[in-house]
Structure 1
């Protein structure tokens, strides 16, 4: 009997003890909850460094070409960061507005790989969008679009002077929720538009004919584009291999617009020493269907022409038609030489064309014609 009573007394003691613990916990928690309401702890702020920077503050792009510029260092700042161009101005304080005109540009929406079978297939992977001529991307890189041309933006002066009123400056505001930093005095110096490369035939300051590098003051001499490859092409009269170097230019190249095209064509021509058109079929080993990424080939006795998409090359990747940011063309022929051996001559050019339109690339044999006939 006493054992039963002791158990009942023990159970009551445990019950009271548990209740006391609950009351104590409630009394302890209630003030904390009240403190949280009174002393609200703010969310942790993002970090932005005062040492964020670009590897260079000076950019010197060529007008008429899409160019990505700027290597940005966030210095461990919390990402993402927001970038904006501020206080665009000339050196004398005048506002600089011409760079922010909106213009249509091609923007890729799909992956170009050089295997496309038509212009329509190429253009299905890109679209026209309206963008300012110059803007900053979410990565901090700056982009100058190909729509920034000579007629819209003034390039550096022909005499290469650097007057303060002609210099272009801007600041960059970089921010996140932790604050903002202003990177001051970024500078742009534009080169005049050169719509193609190689452009050794153009004066980069004036856009006119380039003087001869060995005799720059002689108005009767000029510089030319030279072939990238000239191999084993024998002169018909001299019976010597044709050469092209600083002193002798047996073969030169002209890259120029022509009239009467469809607005997106590329033509190849060859001129003899009398400036008369040669039949491209003389280059009898040329792989015409693999020459460029072009379509609807038209071959005549004076030229070979393709429908193409501009710029050429479209992007900087390696394809059967381009490498290292340049399109690569080779014109090849073979003939029987002395001793009955077959000899192969090659004429080639690595080039780019940045402006959409109708262009022709002309190879001019200035001093002697190639010998195509067998010995």
Structure 2
């Protein structure tokens, strides 16, 4: 009995109802020591792991990697990359150089009305090229580029001295665990997508896989994502995506944040973009200060394109979506709308142009 005899006599005189209440009173006040629960200790599991130990990011693009299984370890956990090394034991230091990178400070929603408004929602911060976040996710920043980091070799060999390994130290008050032997295999920069015209090993122009021994006449190229109801002027039949080559390339003379669209006929002569008379030019891309000439249409834009992986009027599925349309009267007086479009990404800041060249026949814009 943990309450004293005097208290017991008082309670007894007050009636049986008090005796019934005694257990509840004791549970709240007396007998405290009997009901004390030991403080919970910090716990860290030896089975902490990542869903995969092998990662293949592309340089020049911000990549989030790694799903952590904390196995009920007590939060919060802290993380650090340790023992970064090549397969022959040499320390791997190039990925921990620091460079400025864009970091969002407010949410981008695609409704911003100017470059200034976009840039007011982000800032440049000095960060290591590769790091682990407070969530345990691994991040390779877009600032990790070919000029700072060596990618995988151009040939198919995979010598141990070229392989990149690292460990992640996970800790809390209860202790620490090392997740060992995670591996990075880096692809060289591909500054845009689609990149079927780009050799990912050498960075040079890709040969046509159908006839790769003839690099001069059989080069691979990007094809439009959409092509419909565009009639060839000479063949009088509908053109297919194989009749159009798309080039995504830098151009000189811009302001450092420009995007230009051009159309070329089969003789590489510019087609006036105004001929695509059904195009919604002000809704084409999240760009500003549109400039239209007889040879191109150009916008001021923020890079990368798209800026984030959310659906907006200009992007979906992680890619920007552009469509160029024109209408003409077809046979029988029916109005026909021809469309050509591309889903794409551009990861590197600069002045870029996207060129659609009709290879075999020119589109017919005139009415029948």
Please, what TM-score do these two structures have when normalized by structure 2? 0.89
Deviations 1:54-97 (A, max 9, x none): 01000000000000000000000001111000000000000000
Cα offset, 1:45, TM superposition: 2.6
Superposition misfits of 4+ residues, deviation over 2 angstroms? 41-45
Which of 275, 298, 304 lines up with 1:305 in the alignment?
298
Cα offset, 1:218, TM superposition: 1.9
Q: Which residue of 1 aligns with 2:41?
A: 45
Q: Which residue of 1 aligns with 2:201?
A: 205
What value does the CA root-mean-square deviation take over the aligned residues? 1.5
Secondary structure of the structure 2 residue equivalent to 1:122 = helix
Matched residues in 1 for 2:40 and 2:73: separation? 14
Cα offset, 1:42, TM superposition: 8.9
Secondary structure of the structure 1 residue equivalent to 2:204 = coil
Equivalent pairs, count? 335
Q: Which residue of 1 aligns with 2:132?
A: 136
Matched residues in 2 for 1:336 and 1:42: separation? 84
Q: Which residue of 1 aligns with 2:83?
A: 87
Matched residues in 2 for 1:44 and 1:72: separation? 24
Which ranges in structure 1 are unaligned for 5 or more consecutive residues? 1-13, 19-35
Which of 283, 288, 292 lines up with 1:290 in the alignment?
283
Matched residues in 2 for 1:173 and 1:336: separation? 68
Alpha-carbon contact 1:160-1:205 (below 8 Å) kept: no
Matched residues in 2 for 1:371 and 1:44: separation? 77
Matched residues in 2 for 1:205 and 1:121: separation? 38
Secondary structure of the structure 2 residue equivalent to 1:334 = strand
Alpha-carbon contact 1:268-1:361 (below 8 Å) kept: yes
Which of 195, 214, 230 lines up with 1:218 in the alignment?
214
Alpha-carbon contact 1:106-1:127 (below 8 Å) kept: yes
Secondary structure of the structure 1 residue equivalent to 2:277 = coil
Which ranges in structure 2 are unaligned for 5 or more consecutive residues? 1-5, 11-32
Q: Which residue of 1 aligns with 2:239?
A: 242
Cα offset, 1:44, TM superposition: 4.2
Residue 342 (structure 2) pairs with residue 349 (structure 1): yes
Cα offset, 1:161, TM superposition: 1.3
Matched residues in 1 for 2:214 and 2:292: separation? 40
Secondary structure of the structure 2 residue equivalent to 1:304 = strand
Deviations 1:183-242 (A, max 9, x none): 111100001100000000001111111111211222221110000000010000010111
Q: Which residue of 2 aligns with 1:8?
A: none
Q: Which residue of 1 aligns with 2:178?
A: 182
Higher Rg: 1
Please, what TM-score do these two structures have when normalized by structure 1? 0.88
Matched residues in 2 for 1:371 and 1:278: separation? 12
Secondary structure of the structure 2 residue equivalent to 1:99 = helix
Q: Which residue of 1 aligns with 2:57?
A: 61
Matched residues in 2 for 1:106 and 1:285: separation? 36
Secondary structure of the structure 2 residue equivalent to 1:216 = coil
Matched residues in 1 for 2:107 and 2:53: separation? 32
